[in-house]
Amino acid sequence: MLAERVAAGKLPPVEERLPKNPFVRHARQIGKYGGTLYDQTASPGGRFHLDGALIAGAQETDNDGEIIRPHLCDRVDVKEDYRQFTFHIREGLKWSDGVDMTADDILWWWEHEQRNRVIFPEGPRSFKVGNDYAEFSKLDRWTFRITFPTSFRPCLNMSASEWMAFGSYFAQPAHWMKQFHADFNPKADELARQNGFGSWYQYYTMVREYMHPHVNKPHVGPWFRAASTTTYDIYERNPYFAEVDQEGNQLPYIDRIYVQVVEDQKLQTARRATGAVSEGLCEMSQISVFTRNAARADYDIKHWRLANGSECMFAFNLNHKDPLKRRIYNDLKFRQALSYAINRHRINETLYFGQAKEWQATLSPKVSYFDPSWLEYCARYDQDKANHLLDGAGLRWDKARRYRLGPDGQRFVSVVIYNQQAFPVELLEFVRQDWAEVGIEVIMKETDFRFREWVCRAGDQDCTCWNADMVEEVAAYLPWATKWNPQEVLFYARDWWLWYYNNGQSGFEPPQIWKDQFERMAAWYRATSVEEYRRLGHAVWDFFSQQLVFIGTVGYAPQPVVVKNGLRNVSDALTIGYGTDWAKSYMVQTYYWDSPEVHG
C-alpha cells in the first residue's frame, strides 16, 4: 500500500521512516503485505476486539505478564532507590504524520495538559505520590526523566501498561494538539464551537483520547484512525511505525482495520458466527452456533483462555446507608457464608464444560508472592457451614424456613445490580438459587452502565457484580490494580475511600484494620528491595483475601475464538486478559492474510 506513495514521492522510503534502532518483533512466520481486518464495535470510538493492538508505550510486558521489557523506549535507567527513572526514546521515532516524537512531546503534555488547571482542576491523577507530584524533566531531545518525591517502584510497571502508552494517556503530539489548546491557539474556542462544544477544554478533553473518533490524529501505534462515520471506523497503517519483523520488514503487514458499528450485542454475536469479522471472541452460551457454522462461514475455532480471577464476582456495599444492612454486610461471617453457599462446580459444569477453575477471585497464581490458600479461601461448596455462619451473623430463618429474617424481623432482601457484561448472565441465576437455598434472597437486576455508576456513586446499591481481571505480576503492582482503585472501591467502600482520599474531610472513618491496610499499601509502593516488595505484596493481598471483599465464582474460563480461515500468525493457545493488555498480546501487527487481495 505504501510502495506507490513512496514511488510518487509523497512518502520517504522505509529506511528513513523507521527509528535508528527499531523494535524487532518476532513473527511466527514472515508475512505478506496487504488486506483488511474486519471487526465490530458497539459505538464509534468504542472498544472493539482488536483495539488493544493500537497501543504502543514506553515499555511492554511479555505474554505472561511477568517481565517488563523496553518497547518504544530502548532503555530505562533506574536510580536512587526507585526515585528517578530516565527514559531513552528510540532515536528517530516519529508520529504517524512524520514529525519526530521527542521528549518535548512528553514535557508539553505534562506541563500544558496534565498540570493545566482548566483541563484538570484537581490536577493530574497519575504520577502523584501522597500529596506531591513527580517531576518531569528533559535531558536531551530523546531523553526524559521522571523524578518522584519518594521511592515509587510501580513506575516501571506503569511504563509497561496502557498508562504510559504514547499518544493515548501519556504524551500527546504537541505539534498537532496545540491547535485545540487556548494557550497556543487564540482560535481554540472557536474551533471547539465549530465542532459543537462550548469551550476549548471540553473539546480538548475529547480529542486527547486515543479512542476518540478524531480522524488522522498523529499516533505511534501500528494503525491510526483514518475515517469515521456513525456506521464504521477505518484504521490505516502507520507508515512510521517503529517495529520490524526479524527480517527487517516494517510491521504491520495488514493495511487496514475496518470496524463496523453494531449497536446490538446479539447482532454482534450473530455476525461473529457468520464470519463477518476476522477474529472474535465466542460466548460460551452460543458456542453451538459457532461450531456448526464454522464450515459455512469459513472460519476456525481456536481455544484460548480468559485470564480472569472470576467470571463474575460480587461486592457487597460495606458502606451502606442503612445501618442494619451495613452491619450485616460488614460481618465477615456473612460474606464467608455466601461464598460457601455457591455451588461452583455446577456453574463450571453447566456453563463452561468443566473447563474453568472453581476458585476465589484473586491474583494470578503465578505471581511471585502468591499464597495458594487465597484460591481456596471459602471456595468450597458447604451449605451446612454457610447456614451455620449465617445463623451466627444474626440472620434467623423464618417460621416456614423459606428465607432468613434480618435482625429487625423483616425479610432480608438484597438487590444485585449489574450491566451486560462478558460473563453469561445465566451464572447469576445459579448464584441466586444457591443463595436462596440458604435463605438469602437476592434480586438480580440488570441495568445499563450509566445507571449502575450513578447508583454506586451515590452509595445506594446493596451489591453489584462484574467480571474480575486476574492480574499478573506486572499488572498487580499498578496502583489501581489492587481492590483499592478508585473505580472498584466505589462498589464496596465508597465512604472509606472518600475519607482516605480527602484526608478525613469527607466520607467516614474506616475501622483500624483498614487504616492499617492503607499504610501497608503505601509502604508497598515505596518498597525498594525485591524482598520487601514480595513481603509487603503478600501482606496487602492477604488482607484483601481474608476480608473477602469480593466473592468470586469461577475463573480462568475457556475462551473460544473464531479466526477466519486464511488469517495467519494467530496464536493457537493464548491466555488473554487485563494483565497482558488484552489485544496487545495477540500481536496483531504480525497477522497477515494468505491471499491479501481476497481480503481487501
CB nearer other proteins, residue 90 or residue 208: 208
Confirm or reject binding of residue 349 to other proteins (CB under 8 A).
yes
Confirm or reject binding of residue 295 to other proteins (CB under 8 A).
no
CB nearer other proteins, residue 333 or residue 445: 445
Distance CA 497, CA 507 (A): 7
Distance CA 158, CA 168 (A): 13
Amino acid at 202: Q
Confirm or reject binding of residue 234 to other proteins (CB under 8 A).
yes
Contacts of 270-273 with C-beta under 8 Å, sequence gap 24+, read: 271/40, 272/40, 272/562, 273/297, 273/562
Q: DSSP E strands: which ranges in 291-412?
A: 299-306, 308-316, 396-397, 404-405
Q: Binder to other proteins among 122, 384, 408, 597 (CB under 8 A)?
A: 122
Q: Binder to other proteins among 284, 337, 363, 465 (CB under 8 A)?
A: 284
Q: Binder to other proteins among 11, 415, 422, 523 (CB under 8 A)?
A: 415
Q: Binder to other proteins among 133, 258, 369, 518 (CB under 8 A)?
A: 258
CB nearer other proteins, residue 232 or residue 369: 232
Q: Hey, which residues between 542 and 561 contact other proteins (CB under 8 A)?
A: 558, 560
Least distance to other proteins from the beta carbon of 81, Å?
Answer: 25
CB nearer other proteins, residue 63 or residue 286: 286
Going by C-alpha positions, the residue among 394, 287, 290 that lies closest to residue 333 is 394
55 CA to centre of own chain: 12
Question: Candidates 58-66, 178-186, 445-453, 518-526 — which segment interacts with other proteins by CB under 8 A?
Answer: 445-453
Q: Hey, which residues between 377 and 396 contact other proteins (CB under 8 A)?
A: none
295 CA to centre of own chain: 33
Going by C-alpha positions, the residue among 271, 325, 278 that lies closest to residue 459 is 325
Listing DSSP states for 520-562 in one string gives: HHHHHHT--SHHHHHHHHHHHHHHHHHHT-EEE--BS-EEEEE
Q: Binder to other proteins among 368, 451, 511, 519 (CB under 8 A)?
A: 451
Confirm or reject binding of residue 281 to other proteins (CB under 8 A).
no
Distance CA 511, CA 513 (A): 6
Look up residue 285 and give its DSSP letter.
G
Q: Binder to other proteins among 80, 135, 264, 519 (CB under 8 A)?
A: 264
Q: Binder to other proteins among 147, 274, 421, 547 (CB under 8 A)?
A: 274
Q: Hey, which residues between 502 and 541 contact other proteins (CB under 8 A)?
A: none
Least distance to other proteins from the beta carbon of 521, Å?
Answer: 17
Q: Binder to other proteins among 8, 9, 26, 121 (CB under 8 A)?
A: 121
Q: Binder to other proteins among 63, 179, 216, 291 (CB under 8 A)?
A: 291
Task: Decide: 521 and 541 in contact? Cβ < 8 Å.
Answer: no
Number of residues in contact with other proteins under rule CB under 8 A:
92
- For residue 468, give the C-alpha cell: 474480575
CB nearer other proteins, residue 268 or residue 585: 268
For cell 475511600, name the residue. 497
CB nearer other proteins, residue 421 or residue 546: 421
Confirm or reject binding of residue 126 to other proteins (CB under 8 A).
yes
Confirm or reject binding of residue 445 to other proteins (CB under 8 A).
yes
Least distance to other proteins from the beta carbon of 127, Å?
Answer: 9
Q: Hey, which residues between 155 and 174 contact other proteins (CB under 8 A)?
A: 162-163, 169
Amino acid at 253: Y
Going by C-alpha positions, the residue among 253, 261, 349, 286 that lies closest to residue 562 is 286
Confirm or reject binding of residue 355 to other proteins (CB under 8 A).
yes
Q: Hey, which residues between 36 and 65 contact other proteins (CB under 8 A)?
A: 38, 42-45
Task: Decide: 174 and 108 in contact? Cβ < 8 Å.
Answer: yes
Q: Hey, which residues between 172 and 231 contact other proteins (CB under 8 A)?
A: 195-199, 201-202, 206, 208-209, 211-214, 227, 229-231
Q: Binder to other proteins among 13, 98, 130, 354 (CB under 8 A)?
A: 354
Q: Binder to other proteins among 112, 388, 432, 520 (CB under 8 A)?
A: 432
Q: Binder to other proteins among 97, 104, 446, 532 (CB under 8 A)?
A: 446
Going by C-alpha positions, the residue among 195, 207, 192, 171 that lies closest to residue 57 is 171
- Report CA Rg, the chain: 25
Q: DSSP E strands: which ranges in 427-480?
A: 441-446, 463-469
* Angstrom distances, CA of residue 557 to CA of 38, 424, 458, 467, 574: 25, 11, 33, 11, 12
For cell 473505580, name the residue. 487
